Homo-oligomer: A and B are copies of this chain.
Amino acid sequence: MGPRTPTLVVPVDLKKKPWEQELPLHNRWHPQIPPVAEVKAGEFFRIEMVDWTGGVISDNDSASDIKFIDLSTVHYLSGPIKVSDVDGIPAKPGDLLSVEICNLGPLPGDEWGYTATFDRENGGGFLTDHFPSATKAIWYFEGIYAYSTHIPGVRFPGLTHPGIIGTAPSKELLDIWNERESEVQENGLKSLKLCEVLHSRPLANLPSPKGCLLGKIDKGTPEWERIAKEAARTIPGRENGGNCDIKNLSKGSKIYLPVFVEGANLSTGDMHFSQGDGEVSFCGAIEMSGFLELKCDIIRGGMKEYLTPMGPTPLHVNPIFEIGPIEPRFSEWLVFEGISVDESGRQHYLDASVAYKRAVLNAIDYLSKFGYSKEQVYLLLSCCPCEGRISGIVDSPNAVATLAIPTAIFDQDIRPKSRRIPVGPRLVRKPDVLKCTYDGNLPITRNPAAST
């Protein structure tokens, strides 16, 4: 036995384009994208990945790359990986694939990332009506910490995670996706109550050959044409996991993914150095290239045993996660609240999305009082380790959502303060020396720092 060095099963070369990689990447979900590698249960292996855009965004002070980005090309994923058990028998539809994240991080020599908002006409974000223009902040990593010259005065440890991890859908599941997303695309504007404020964001991104990269399937072949028309975009999280953006899915986590095709066909990408719950600016985490070190196991028949369909077919399931034991330890949090009343003063019935939007807007306004522009705070809340909670979802008509921000990430005290001499015993300093009469006449000097 030797050192437990992971086998590199998917390398990437950051000097090459996504379509030039030795093991080609893909940016769509489809059952017929062939595996580029194979692993066995218990094997300790490593996957490298490009950032979600495949290197389109540069480390500079201009947001032009963000403004003009072609979103038909994202997200570039590494894989698919075929998974078999120790006897070489592949995972089968109906199994659960357990994936343990033993380690992850940035690629050596590429220790930086970016957080951005898209232009309202090109993708937008959660608050696109408030912040319609493209913006970008660059982050540099010093080991566990990230800092940005575009958002000075903050520094925080990353809870690094893959934004996307998922198995390939079966054709049947893919058809379900395409049908329901077409429906929302076509009928959404009529039925959705948020339509006025979000009109410029695409309601869904349907399959389209434009920008499509399908791994080992050569572009231009009839097979490519057919698959490109069917293959699902990677933007939303779905039954196969995918873009779940769970910020705590870091070192030591385990993911139980449903298997829909033989071999499971595991793909992953969209590495985040850090993300706030909700990833509100859309390109909102600290986006980067990176690596994952994984171990898989197969739970035979696990879908039936552990997952319950939550819809019309047995395929309407969701993955289960166990989050890891390592997390930055913050002791103080400032919490902003939102209720489901929108900026026009209109009441929405138990709408957690509206409530969370308002909590984020409240936090942005508050933090902008401490020397930041609102654009800076919007980017910061997308990527710092803040927690977005659904606090109340039953108290008609208001949903209550909260956004909790660890105060330690700032180099100034951001808590509300009274300007007067504060009241209360802790802070009252009488002008005479506070002392206990000690036997040996040892004076207890008072705290001079406290008297000012």
Contact A396 B236 (CB under 8 A): yes
Known: A140-B4, A337-B246, A371-B449. A188 touches B349 (CB 8 A): yes
Contact A371 B450 (CB under 8 A): yes
- Minimum CB–CB distance for A108 against chain B, Å: 7
Contact B194 A191 (CB under 8 A): no
Please indicate the chain B residues that have their CB under 8 angstroms from the CB of A252 in the complex: 143-145, 157
Cα A369 to Cα B306 with chains together (Å)? 8
Contact A149 B325 (CB under 8 A): no
- Minimum CB–CB distance for A248 against chain B, Å: 8
A77 within 8 A of B: no
- Minimum CB–CB distance for A324 against chain B, Å: 8
Leading 8 A-B pairs by shortest Cβ distance: A103-B143, A102-B143, A133-B440, A308-B365, A236-B398, A42-B423, A4-B140, A371-B447
Number of copies: 4
Contact A293 B143 (CB under 8 A): yes
- Minimum CB–CB distance for A269 against chain B, Å: 13
Contact B349 A192 (CB under 8 A): yes
**Which B residue sits closest to A348, measured CB to CB?**
B184
**Which B residue sits closest to A4, measured CB to CB?**
B140
A-B contact pairs, 26 of them (CB 8 A): A1-B59, A4-B141, A66-B439, A98-B418, A102-B142, A103-B144, A138-B436, A143-B293, A144-B251, A149-B425, A181-B397, A194-B349, A236-B395, A244-B337, A278-B393, A306-B369, A325-B330, A325-B331, A326-B326, A331-B408, A350-B353, A370-B449, A371-B447, A372-B447, A375-B444, A388-B389
Contact partner of A389 (CB less than 8 A), chosen from B125, B389, B443, is: B389
Contact A349 B134 (CB under 8 A): no
Please indicate the chain B residues that have their CB under 8 angstroms from the CB of A202 in the complex: 396
Contact partner of A365 (CB less than 8 A), chosen from B191, B278, B310, B335, is: B310
Q: Which of A231-286 contact B (CB under 8 A)?
A: 235-239, 243-248, 251-252, 256, 277-282, 284
- Size range of the interface on A? 35 or more
Contact B320 A336 (CB under 8 A): yes
Known: A102-B144, A349-B203. A279 touches B394 (CB 8 A): yes
A412 within 8 A of B: yes
Please indicate the chain B residues that have their CB under 8 angstroms from the CB of A132 in the complex: 440
**Which B residue sits closest to A368, measured CB to CB?**
B308
Please indicate the chain B residues that have their CB under 8 angstroms from the CB of A142 in the complex: 4, 44, 102-103, 293, 295, 425
Please indicate the chain B residues that have their CB under 8 angstroms from the CB of A238 in the complex: 339, 398
**Which B residue sits closest to A333, measured CB to CB?**
B323
Contact A358 B143 (CB under 8 A): no
